């Protein structure tokens, strides 16, 4: 089972985030109910490692970070694989990410080594984007919809399990940890 730590997107942000992709006719939109900001991808931990991580995260005392959306961007490698809402790396968010990752590493888990780039994935693309979707994405990025996304605090960190299928990933919340207001 793949696992990761994330911030769930507050309900008041879900509709504005979904509106950011407007009429884009390319890729597969991420379902509204699964929007999240990944703090740390943990790979395929054992049940024992997940239990130990749960124990250490129960003592997590951190402020709830503000989620400030600063626009859209796409991530590769090479061609676009995802279109995402970029979240500003405010100090509370960066500190929270570093702390949960530090706790995971202390237990022997090996989170990804990529630098933390806070974002909420909105659309996923196939490895080989068909030419018509590539053209649609270029048109969209040249003139994306202007959407005001309110600033909201993320109230909790979630430990998530991820199961891949041909229809995309299914996420199951294993535990949630409330952050300070």
How confident is the model over 25-47, as a mean pLDDT?
A: 93
Q: What element of type H or E holds 20?
A: none
What are the pLDDT digits (tens) for 131-168?
888 888 888 988 898 899 999 999 999 999 998 777 77
The rounded distance, in Å, linking the Cα atoms of 36 and 6 is 6
For the segment(s) 2-178, the CATH number from 3.40.640.10, 3.90.1140.10, 3.40.50.2000, 3.90.226.10 is: 3.90.1140.10
- Report the DSSP beta bridge partners of residue 172: 161
| 77 — pLDDT class (breaks 50, 70, 90) | low
Whether residue 41 is predicted with pLDDT greater than 90 in this model: the reply is yes
Choose among 34, 71, 53: nearest CA to 146.
Answer: 71
- Is pTM beyond 0.85? Reply is yes
Taking a C-beta distance cutoff of 8 angstroms, is the pair 30, 121 a contact? Answer: yes
pLDDT tens digits, one per residue of 85-141: 999 999 999 999 999 999 999 999 988 888 999 999 999 988 888 888 888 888 898
Domain ranges of the chain: 2-178
Residue 27 backbone class (left: φ over 0; alpha: ψ -120 to 50; beta: rest):
left
Give Cα 53 distance to the centre of its chain: 19
Helix (H/G/I), strand (E/B), else coil: 10: coil
Identify whether the C-beta of residue 159 lies closer than 8 Å to the C-beta of residue 44. no
């Amino acid at each position: 089972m793949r696992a990761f730590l994330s911030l769930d997107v507050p309900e008041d942000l879900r509709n504005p985030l979904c509106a950011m992709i407007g009429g884009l006719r390319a890729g597969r939109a991420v379902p509204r109910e699964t929007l999240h900001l990944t703090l740390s991808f943990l790979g395929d931990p054992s049940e024992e490692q997940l239990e130990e991580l749960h124990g250490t995260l129960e003592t997590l005392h951190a402020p709830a970070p503000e989620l400030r959306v600063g626009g859209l961007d796409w991530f590769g490698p090479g061609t676009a694989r995802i279109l995402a809402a970029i979240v500003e790396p405010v100090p509370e968010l960066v500190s929270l990410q570093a702390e949960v990752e530090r706790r995971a590493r202390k237990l022997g888990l090996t989170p990804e080594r990529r630098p933390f780039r806070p974002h909420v994935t909105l659309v996923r693309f196939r490895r080989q984007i068909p030419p018509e979707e590539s053209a649609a994405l270029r048109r969209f990025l040249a003139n994306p919809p202007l959407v005001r996304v309110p600033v909201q605090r993320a109230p909790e960190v979630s430990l998530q399990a991820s199961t891949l299928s041909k229809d995309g990933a299914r996420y199951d919340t294993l535990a949630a940890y409330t952050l300070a207001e």
